[in-house]
Amino acid sequence: MTLEGWIFLAVSWLVIIGMAIFCFGQVLLPHQHKKKIRAHIKNKVIKNRKK
């Protein structure tokens, strides 16, 4: 295999693993925790808009 081939393989695996972790996080995180994160993100967005 060429170097490009190996890089492509590594990147695609990282994407797959990242997606899997994200999906598991969505499923396993308690709803309360999700709400806190969403509120935190909303607060950040609002603060950034005010600037």
Q: Please tell me the predicted confidence (pLDDT) of residue 32.
A: 62
43 compared with 3, residue with greater pLDDT: 3
* pLDDT over 80 at 2, yes or no: yes
Handedness of CA 22, 27, 30, 35 (dihedral sign): positive
Q: Please tell me the predicted confidence (pLDDT) of residue 30.
A: 64
pLDDT digits 0-9 by tens, 15-43:
999 999 888 887 777 666 667 777 887 88
